[in-house]
Chains A and B, each alone.
Chain A
């Protein structure tokens, strides 16, 4: 076991997974990840793109510490704070939006901070409501606010805009970028939507089919705010040619 600690103000995250195998209820083994190495660039948005079922969600769960049944190691600062946006909002239905956020917020998270965050994601009016009274789009905003309320060292996003209509999803992506740019955070996002990936990523990680590993890391140097539709299309066309399994036909 090697255990490297990194000095310095900015948190380092290094992911090395030799193997991750799922055991099914009937005893069959399924290798989800093999020989995956990924260093996260601090304060940048890393987007994982891969065919569905390739083990992206498994990877996020391992990084979040929700699954420690794997061979390898995750090198991250002790007591790193996490923000996690799941595929579903996963708010507590019996707590108001405000309580949902305050329950997990960082120590010292003030009323002022809450107000600012709620304003940024547009849920000020919803703070006293229960999650059942919110639309899926609004619940996702609340989940986004909750993820940032922990003032995370690492932000994990597991297809957070799936099953929204394209307009709502697009608005939420821009919201995410705004909140994220205001407080740059090391972030990992999983998606199977190539345009979403190209719109948000600083670094685009192309994943292999199961058992997954890193095929390539593409760096996109243009700041997210300056990317227009034409540029995203050009990037998409280029990547479709080079990685047809991941990008073609989407």
Chain B
């Protein structure tokens, strides 16, 4: 990799504690210690310690249906994410490219940006019934305006010079999209998906809580009624772990790959 050769020359060597995951590890460990101590002092079933929560997660994974519930929620997150990204990107790019489209859709965009997620979810359930399509549609609809705004900026930032180059060299529409347009939009896609995943999984839980018979949100609702804080924390931590895995194993490697031409590390 050429970028690897460049870095040592342009950046000075950081001190030992800035290298590797030292500081992040200590930060997380400190949090666990505080939690452990607080639970020990409280001695209440409303504040279980980290050990208890971990034990719950393991037991529920092996003998309960935690894995199943995580899977259901994850599938809803993924489905809503793809619907929102595809629909939002197409609308956003059209709005950025054509001022007339922007004029027509802009008031609706502002309206959607400001309608609370809960209102959209309730209306979707009321109008379309308590079903999977209404649930996923409602989540996607909450995310779409966000994607639209980001990708509209992306379309507006496209370099007209490179567009002229592509036309002068008679590049095919496909080649131009792949080699000229998409790489310019990459940071905007990255931003939209980053903020998208975290927003979507939070809204999916609300959708599940209000009208689905399974998923993490349903379990949280159930355990709230039982005041089972161990289960609530267990489910939360398990799903956060899934999202972190997606971030570190999918999103970041993909981003490193698509930005390998930049001289600076991501």
Contacting residue for A104 out of B2, B171, B262, CB 8 A: B171
Is the beta-carbon distance between B263 and A133 smaller than 8 angstroms?
yes
A241, CB-defined interface residue at 8 Å: no
Number of A-B contacts (CB under 8 A): 53
Cα-based distance from A87 to B162 in the complex (angstroms):
12
Is the beta-carbon distance between B165 and A94 smaller than 8 angstroms?
no
Given contacts A94-B183, A95-B179, contact A130 B2 (CB under 8 A): yes
Is the beta-carbon distance between B167 and A66 smaller than 8 angstroms?
yes
Cα-based distance from A90 to B175 in the complex (angstroms):
16
B108, CB-defined interface residue at 8 Å: no
Is the beta-carbon distance between A92 and B2 smaller than 8 angstroms?
no
Cα-based distance from A88 to B165 in the complex (angstroms):
11
Is the beta-carbon distance between B165 and A90 smaller than 8 angstroms?
yes
A221 to chain B, nearest CB (A): 31
Contacting residue for A103 out of B2, B164, B171, B261, CB 8 A: B171
B109, CB-defined interface residue at 8 Å: no
Contacting residue for A90 out of B2, B161, B186, CB 8 A: B161
Cα-based distance from A197 to B186 in the complex (angstroms):
41
A145 to chain B, nearest CB (A): 13
B186 to A, closest residue via Cβ: A94
Give A182-199 as 1s and 0s: 1 = Cβ < 8 Å from B's Cβ atoms.
000000000000000000
Most buried by A among B161, B167, B169: B169
Is the beta-carbon distance between A86 and B261 smaller than 8 angstroms?
no
Is the beta-carbon distance between A65 and B167 smaller than 8 angstroms?
yes
Please tell me the size bucket of the interface on A: 20 to 34
B103, CB-defined interface residue at 8 Å: no
In chain B, positions 226-266 with a C-beta closer than 8 Å to chain A are: 261-263
A16 to chain B, nearest CB (A): 21
Given contacts A92-B162, A92-B179, A132-B262, contact A66 B2 (CB under 8 A): no
Is the beta-carbon distance between B165 and A133 smaller than 8 angstroms?
no
Give A111-137 as 1s and 0s: 1 = Cβ < 8 Å from B's Cβ atoms.
000000000000000001110110000
In chain A, positions 127-168 with a C-beta closer than 8 Å to chain B are: 128-130, 132-133, 146, 150, 156
Q: What are 19 A-B pairs at a CB distance below 8 A?
A: A65-B167, A65-B168, A66-B164, A86-B161, A86-B165, A90-B162, A90-B164, A92-B180, A92-B183, A94-B183, A94-B261, A104-B169, A104-B171, A128-B2, A129-B2, A132-B262, A133-B6, A150-B169, A156-B168
